[in-house]
Amino acid sequence: MGGFTFVVGGGASRCLVKWCPHASGIDLSREIARLQWVAAFVSVPRVIDQDRDQVASWFASAAIAGENAISPRW
């Protein structure tokens, strides 16, 4: 989809960082807003930090238990 998601750290300090270049057309601020809204209803990753520069935007989220939506099983 034009971006990357990285696992950073391990154990209790493990988090995920999603990075998207502006040229991808993906607006991460909208994804962050959706995650924050839906957290009242279902278990979703908690947004830890976010930022953007001239090239891309990114956000970091806490890891949660579960299976990756792009795993071979799906």
CATH number of the domain encompassing residue 46: 3.30.200.20
- pLDDT at residue 10 is higher than 90: no
- Residues 15-53: tens digit of each pLDDT: 999 999 999 999 899 999 999 999 999 999 999 999 999
Tell whether 9 is covered by a domain.
yes
**pTM across the whole model:** 0.81
Q: What is the pLDDT of residue 1?
A: 62
Residue closest to 57 by CA, chosen among 36, 29, 31, 16: 29
Q: What is the pLDDT of residue 35?
A: 94
User: Which structural domain range is residue 17 located in?
Assistant: 4-62
Q: What is the pLDDT of residue 73?
A: 84
Q: Tokens standing for 24?
A: 């991808």
Tell whether 34 is covered by a domain.
yes
Tell whether 11 is covered by a domain.
yes
Residue closest to 17 by CA, chosen among 47, 53, 54: 47
At 38 the three-state DSSP class reads helix
Range of lowest pLDDT (2-6, 26-30, 55-59): 2-6
Task: Name the domain count of the chain.
Answer: 1
